[in-house]
Amino acid sequence: MRTITILQNDAGQRLDKFLLKLMPDMPKSLLYKLIRKKDIKYNGARCKGMELLQCGDVLTLYVKEEFFRSGTKSLPSAASGKINPVYEDDDILIVYKPAGMFAHSGNAKNAVVLVDEVQKYLMDKGEYHPETEQTFSPALCNRIDRNTEGLVIAAKNAQALRAMNEAIRERHVHKSYLAVTAAPLPKKKDVCTAWLKKDSRQNMVKVLDSPPDRSWQKICTGYRVLAQNGNYQLVHIDLLTGRTHQIRAHLAHLGAPLLGDPKYASGRSPEENQCLCSYSLHFSGLGDSCLSHLEGKRITAAMPEFVRKYFPDAVI
């Protein structure tokens, strides 16, 4: 038997979701069977699994020890905690991810990834204590491609993570990008609509002007040409929908692929990484959430090096 007391970072989520994080090796079917058999009790009483946890709630679990997480979360030994913070408060951290770094460990094999560096940074500051957390660890709220650089939002606590994820989902976080294209765009300024479909086997997407069936997703990308240097253009991009590889594939579809893009641009390139930067975040419509202090705030990164390289006199 185990007795679990709900902590601040555990509160606000459903009981069944909390238990699946606490016991990640437990099949869902077994979890709900244990709930039905009253082997899991919520504040000493029978539960259904849909209860919303509050700080101080007590769970009594008659569950085999093999299902519980073993030990404290450990970070890769190479994680240094050296990041480039652009904005920080008690709830969130906005950091500049360099090109070439993965945001998460999914495709990174043994490489150190941004989320590891963020967690190590917060551990070194004394703001994250993994040994006292039951299911929570600081997490990234948005991600950008490995070869894209720029602003990534991390949440320091569970309440901020839920609020920021909802704000992003409801389009209350407006994202702007800077890019250098390998060829001119058809217009100096436009808002373009198209349809996108992902090919998971090749980890690429296709873009068409009209959808052949309902499996295609609508995308909308706004752009404004800021400067031109030969065939290269410096472009400000407003991401009006957020789909996989949207900017890269949509610009290539318009005949202006990103300079250095290994997937959507053809021919040799002087750049190792695509010239794309998540440059600005603007927060609006946050209401009275724990993120209300960000209302109307715009967070802007420093000028990317690839912009300085091709457009040394550019003013954004």
Q: What domains sit in the chain, N to C, each tagged with a CATH number?
A: 2-67 (3.10.290.10), 85-170 (3.30.2350.10), 175-310 (3.30.2350.10)
DSSP 230: T
232 token code pair: 């290269």
Which strand (E) or helix (H) includes residue 162?
helix 158-169
Let me know how many helices (H) and strands (E) the chain has, helices first: 6, 15
Tell me which H or E stretch contains 252.
helix 246-253
Cα separation, 220 vs 239, whole angstroms: 7
Question: Which two structure tokens, joined as six digits, stand for 161?
Answer: 């993570």
| Annotated active-site residue in 145, 190, 199, 313 | 145
At position 93, the amino acid (one-letter code) is L
pLDDT at residue 109 in the model? 67
Q: Give pLDDT, residue 126.
A: 94
- Gap between the terminal Cα atoms of the chain: 61
**Total-model pTM:** 0.89
Q: Which amino acid, residue 239?
A: L
Closest CA to 42 of 55, 28, 53: 53
Evaluate whether 51 touches 255 at the Cβ level (below 8 Å).
Answer: no
The side-by-side arrangement of strands in the sheet containing 40-42 is 2-5, 58-61, 40-42, 45-46
What span, in angstroms and rounded, lies between the C-alpha atoms of 223 and 179? 10
Exposure of 130 by Cβ count < 10 A (0-12 exposed, 13-18 middle, 19+ buried)?
Answer: middle
- Kindly report the length of the chain: 316
pLDDT at 268: 82
Question: Any idea of the CA torsion for 261, 267, 268, 271, to the nearest 10 degrees?
Answer: -20
CA distance to 92, 264, 269, 276, per residue, from 261 (Å) = 31, 6, 8, 9
Report the C-alpha gap between 228 and 225 in whole angstroms. Answer: 8
- The answer to whether 1 and 54 have CB atoms below 8 angstroms apart is no
Give the chain's residues under pLDDT 70: 70-77, 106-109
What is the pLDDT, as a whole number, of residue 220?
Answer: 97
Known active-site residue 25: no
Q: Give residue 267's pLDDT.
A: 79
